[in-house]
Amino acid sequence: MPSSGALLAKYTPAAVTHGTPLAVLGVDGVVVLEGEAHVPARLEHLSARGKWVRDVQVPEGTREAVAHLAQRYSIVWASEWGPNAHLALAGVLGLPATPWPYLPVQFDKLAAIRQYAGGRPWVWIDDPVVDLHPLPDDPGGVVVRVDPSKGLVGLDLSEIDEAVLRTAARRAPSHGASTIRKSS
Amino acid sequence: MSDATTTPAAEAVPDTGTAYGLALGGPLNELAQVGPGTPYGEVMRRYWHPISKAEKVTTTPRRVKVLGEELVLFRTGRGEPALLHPRCIHRGASLYYGGVEEDGIRCCYHGWVFDPKGHCLEQPCEPDLGQHRDKVRQPWYPVQERYGLVWAYMGPPDKKPVLPRYDVFENIPEGLHLIVNDAGVGGGGPEVLDFNWLQHWENVMDPFHVPILHARFSGEQFTPEMAVIPEVTFEYTPVGVRSTQIRKLDGKRALRRRTEVMFPNLRVVPSPRLTPGQTNLIGWVVPEDDTTFRIFTLAVHEDLDFLSKLRSTFGGKPWAELSEEEHRRMPGDYEAQKSQGPISLHSEDHLTTTDQGVAMLRRMMAKQIRAVAAGKDPVGVIRDPADEVVTITGGNFFLTHEEALAEGLVDA
């Protein structure tokens, strides 16, 4: 297992809003689906400046769900899509022109997230397949795992908001409370 | 006297990013390792693997190493291939020193004889040639012969799938030959490649390296068309990941080139010398262990030397004849992939635009690890003999100007 310092030595994005809780989002299984979708979804043709294209399913309501999160959190992409997450999804999800920061990690992302978050509260929403190793009992924030056939829209976002608030309250000033949740 | 490195501004803000104190990450061992009990090793053990050219399996026992396991491969006097654990269950002498007989192999130490399924046929020093010989079994693996290769299944006996057939090798037209090669075609280096197999396999989903490594950097190693940077579509298939590369050619024509990876280790890379149509060759990337692998390749062609001629040349010279300086100056796949390390430090990778296919493959591998751990079949495992023929979609498809225009690939 690499050290967290090593993980971030290669690229450290600038934080956009100090103090605001973070919502760290995976891409595959979260905002785009692979395989059979168990929620209504549209096939979208995504491109990374014409270098490549992918046809992916985006569940209906994802745009609104991301907007909900963006109102409450500073969004950070954490995925193998790297800078292309924002670029490729901007039109489909109605994202701002200034890209959100990204963490270029595909698996076992916790160390990178914790290092990036510093002392800020955070929620990390992702597909369980990214966890090659079990998460610790105390991840240091709220970990939410989606059903990759539903993605973000399969979650109750208000529950997540409450969990982040509870965790932030318990952590102040030095508590280590945390939560791991799974989508039903 | 001053220079740029000692200006006051530079002193005020020291440059960063130096290698001082560098702490490197590590490999994705869950994906890269293949030994018994490793996550992807268990995925591998749900499929059949080619382990030797059939013609090399004779009545002389051979040591082979597959998925980190040392084994002995031979053919009985009756012609049946056999793959046994080498350590004789009697007292541990290696069956590599055994003598092959009509029905099996006789251990050199006390003469116990084992058939291809590990049954003990004889214990010559025991009363009645072993009154209890049917109580023991030499560990063995099922093998089959097809397409001039010997295939082994090294997984749980109750999970043994059907050995697939491939449409490109069925019903070979008269005048064409099935060509079998175990010399590392596609690896760009020696017969046994001495680094982790995944570095080679995931390279199949990296079409962007072709115009750089194989053209711009080392001179044209394939054809002028392959030097064109393509526009690529990546997609998951039911059995792997596929990239479709569009290259715009002179005369407003286009080349649609499809490459595939199929689980657990197939490389569907159509001829880089652009033989047109559905691919006529497929390769299997078979790890000997975590840091060595072989590539078994099948092809259909009229020229029996087709695969040998396919190998890239460097300034007109084959790889094996290059000097160290020529290797350095004209690197190919072998130099690029071996230099990633015995097992690449995947956590150090900066996956970006051109790595989408690699990332998709790694993700699909992680999914298969989960499926196997949950007791499910990974993708591409065939249970019903009626489904045994696998369709290959890879190939080089040239489009005329009219065809390319109709598909919106070129301008009028």
B26 and A2 within 8 Å at the Cβ level: the answer is yes
A80 and B233 within 8 Å at the Cβ level: the answer is no
Residue B154 has pLDDT above 90, yes or no: yes
Which of the residue ranges B14-23, B59-68, B96-105, B359-368 would you say has the lowest mean pLDDT? B14-23
Q: What is the pLDDT of residue A179?
A: 66
Min Cα–Cα distance to chain B from A43, Å: 13
Min Cα–Cα distance to chain B from A96, Å: 20
B350 → chain A, closest CA residue: A104
Q: Indicate the residue of A2, A80, A129 with minimum beta-carbon distance to B351.
A: A80
In a mutational test of the A interface, the residue from B244, B246, B352 whose CB has the highest number of chain A CBs within 10 Å is: B352
Count other C-beta atoms under 10 Å from residue A88's C-beta.
Answer: 26
In a mutational test of the A interface, the residue from B353, B367, B376 whose CB has the highest number of chain A CBs within 10 Å is: B353
Sheet of B81-84: strand order equals B62-66, B69-75, B81-84, B140-141
Q: What is the pLDDT of residue B92?
A: 97
Q: What is the pLDDT of residue B1?
A: 39
Mean pLDDT of chain A: 86
B352 and A83 within 8 Å at the Cβ level: the answer is yes
Q: What is the pLDDT of residue B263?
A: 98
Exposure string of B272-309, with b = 16+ CB inside 10 Å and e = fewer, is bebbeebbbbbbbbbbbbbbbbbbbbbbbbeeeebbee
Residue-wise pLDDT for B327-337, tens only, equals: 998 898 999 99
B395: Cβ contacts below 8 Å, ≥ 6 apart: B257, B258, B270, B276, B277, B278, B279
Q: Give dist(CA B94, CA B77) in Å, integer.
A: 20
* Average pLDDT over every residue of B2-22: 67
Q: Which two tokens stand for residue B235?
A: 């997609």
B350 and A11 within 8 Å at the Cβ level: the answer is yes
Mean pLDDT of chain B: 92
Residue A8 has pLDDT above 50, yes or no: no
Residue-wise pLDDT for A33-90, tens only, equals: 987 899 999 999 998 877 888 999 999 999 999 999 999 999 999 999 988 999 999 9
B24 and A106 within 8 Å at the Cβ level: the answer is no
Rounded to two decimals, the ipTM of the complex is 0.87
Q: Indicate the residue of A6, A49, A53 with minimum beta-carbon distance to B23.
A: A6
Q: Give dist(CA B226, CA B399) in Å, integer.
A: 15
Q: What is the pLDDT of residue B219?
A: 67
Residue-wise pLDDT for B311-352, tens only, equals: 777 777 888 899 999 999 889 899 999 999 999 999 888 888
- The DSSP H or E segment spanning B343 is none
Q: What is the pLDDT of residue A5?
A: 42
Q: Which two tokens stand for residue B276?
A: 């047109």
* Average pLDDT over every residue of B114-123: 98
Contacts B378 to A, Cβ<8 Å: none
Residue-wise pLDDT for B355-406, tens only, equals: 999 999 999 999 999 999 999 999 999 999 999 999 999 999 999 999 999 8
A3 → chain B, closest CA residue: B25
**Which has the closest alpha carbon to A55: A84, A78, A34?**
A34
